[in-house]
Chains A and B, each alone.
Chain A
Amino acid sequence: MNIVIRPSWLLMMAIAVVLASTLAFLYAKTNEHDPSASFESLALLRQVKQLDAQWELNVLKSKIGINQDYDPLVEPLTALQAQWDRLETLVNLRAWSDSPDWLRGREAYLEALGEKTELIERFKSHNAVLRNSLAFLPIAENDIHTPLRQIGGSDRPEQMAVAADLYDTVLSTMEYAQTTSSDKAAEVEASLGRLAAGKALLPLDLQATLDILMAHVRTILREQSLVNGLVERIGAVPMAARLDDIHRIIDQTQLQSAERDLLYHQFVLLFSAVLAGLLLYVGGRLIRSYAVINRVNKKLQEANDGLEQRVQQRTRELRETQSELVATARQAGMAEIATNVLHNVGNVLNSVNVSADLISRRVRTSKVQGLAKAVQLINEHAADLGDFISRDEKGKLLPGYLNQLVEALAAEQQGIAEELEHLTKSVDHIKEIVATQQSYAGTPSLLEAVRVTDLLEDALRMNAGALQRHQVTVIKDFSEVPPLLLDKHRLLLILVNLISNAKQALSAQGNRAHALTLSVRLLDESNLRICVQDDGEGIAAENLTRIFAHGFTTRKDGHGFGLHSCALAAMEMEGRLTAHSDGPGQGATFALELPAHAVPGRS
Chain B
Amino acid sequence: MERVATGLFREAWPGRSQLSVAGLSCVLALPFGLAAQVGAAPLDEPIKPIPMVQELDPARTELGRRLFQDVRLSANDSVSCASCHQLASGGADQRAFSRGFSGRQALVNTPTVLNAGFNFRQFWDGRAGSLEAQIDAVIENPVEMGSTWQDVIDKVTAAPHYRTAFAAAYPDGVTQANIENAIATFERSLTTPNSRFDQYLRGDADALSAEEKAGYLKFKQYGCIACHQGVNIGGNMFQKFGVMGDYFQARGNPSEADLGRFRVTGDEADKNVFKVPSLRNVALTAPYFHDATAKTLEEAVDVMFKYQLGRVASEADMQSIIKFLETLTGERAGPQP
- Residue ranges of A at the interface with B (Cβ–Cβ < 8 Å): 68-71, 73-74, 118, 121-122, 124-125, 128-129, 131-133, 135-136, 139, 208-209, 212, 215-216, 219
Partner of B238, one of A71, A125, A139: A125
The answer to the question of B23 belonging to the interface, with a C-beta cut-off of 8 Å to chain A, is: no
Which residues 219-233 of B sit at the A interface, judged by CB distance below 8 A? 221, 223, 225-227, 229-231
Docked-complex contact A129 and B226, CB < 8 angstroms: yes
> Which residues does chain A contribute within 8 Å of B236, judged by CB atoms?
69-71, 73-74, 124
Docked-complex contact A139 and B221, CB < 8 angstroms: yes
Nearest 9 Cβ contacts at the A-B interface: A69-B229, A68-B46, A132-B223, A132-B226, A71-B230, A124-B237, A69-B230, A128-B226, A74-B120
CB<8 Å pairs between A and B, sample of 29? A68-B44, A69-B46, A69-B48, A69-B229, A70-B229, A70-B230, A71-B48, A71-B229, A73-B237, A74-B230, A124-B237, A125-B238, A125-B273, A128-B226, A128-B237, A129-B239, A132-B223, A132-B226, A133-B310, A135-B223, A135-B226, A136-B309, A139-B221, A208-B312, A212-B310, A212-B311, A215-B244, A215-B310, A216-B310
For the complex with contacts A121-B237, A125-B237, A216-B310, 20 further pairs of A-B residues with Cβ separation under 8 Å are A68-B44, A68-B225, A70-B230, A70-B236, A70-B237, A71-B229, A71-B230, A121-B238, A122-B269, A125-B240, A125-B273, A128-B226, A129-B240, A135-B226, A136-B223, A136-B309, A208-B312, A209-B312, A215-B244, A219-B243
Q: How long is the Cα–Cα vector from A129 to B221 in the complex, in angstroms?
A: 14
Q: How long is the Cα–Cα vector from A71 to B118 in the complex, in angstroms?
A: 10
Do A69 and B47 contact each other (CB < 8 Å), given the known contacts A125-B237, A128-B226, A132-B223?
yes
Nearest-CB residue, chain B, relative to A121 = B238
> Which residues does chain A contribute within 8 Å of B227, judged by CB atoms?
128
Q: How long is the Cα–Cα vector from A212 to B44 in the complex, in angstroms?
A: 31
Nearest-CB residue, chain A, relative to B129 = A81
Nearest-CB residue, chain A, relative to B44 = A68
Docked-complex contact A132 and B120, CB < 8 angstroms: no
Docked-complex contact A132 and B221, CB < 8 angstroms: no
Q: How long is the Cα–Cα vector from A243 to B269 in the complex, in angstroms?
A: 29
Q: How long is the Cα–Cα vector from A407 to B216 in the complex, in angstroms?
A: 196
Say how far A489's CB is from chain B's closest CB, in angstroms.
116
> Which residues does chain B contribute within 8 Å of A219, judged by CB atoms?
243-244, 310
> Which residues does chain A contribute within 8 Å of B244, judged by CB atoms?
215-216, 219
> Which residues does chain B contribute within 8 Å of A209, judged by CB atoms?
312
Which residues 195-253 of B sit at the A interface, judged by CB distance below 8 A? 221, 223, 225-227, 229-231, 236-240, 243-244
> Which residues does chain A contribute within 8 Å of B265, judged by CB atoms?
118
Nearest-CB residue, chain A, relative to B47 = A69
Among A74, A216, A219, max chain B CB count under 10 A is at A74
The answer to the question of B45 belonging to the interface, with a C-beta cut-off of 8 Å to chain A, is: yes
Q: Mark B45-64, 1 if CB is under 8 A from A, else 0.
A: 11110000000000000000
Say how far A386's CB is from chain B's closest CB, in angstroms.
173
Q: How long is the Cα–Cα vector from A132 to B312 in the complex, in angstroms?
A: 14
Partner of B226, one of A131, A208, A212, A216: A131
Say how far A46's CB is from chain B's closest CB, in angstroms.
25
Q: How long is the Cα–Cα vector from A215 to B309 in the complex, in angstroms?
A: 10
Docked-complex contact A68 and B45, CB < 8 angstroms: yes
Say how far B276's CB is from chain A's closest CB, in angstroms.
8
> Which residues does chain B contribute within 8 Å of A122, judged by CB atoms?
238, 269
Q: How long is the Cα–Cα vector from A219 to B229 in the complex, in angstroms?
A: 21
Nearest-CB residue, chain B, relative to A71 = B230
Q: How long is the Cα–Cα vector from A215 to B238 in the complex, in angstroms?
A: 21
> Which residues does chain B contribute within 8 Å of A136, judged by CB atoms?
223, 309, 311
Nearest-CB residue, chain B, relative to A215 = B310
> Which residues does chain B contribute within 8 Å of A208, judged by CB atoms?
312
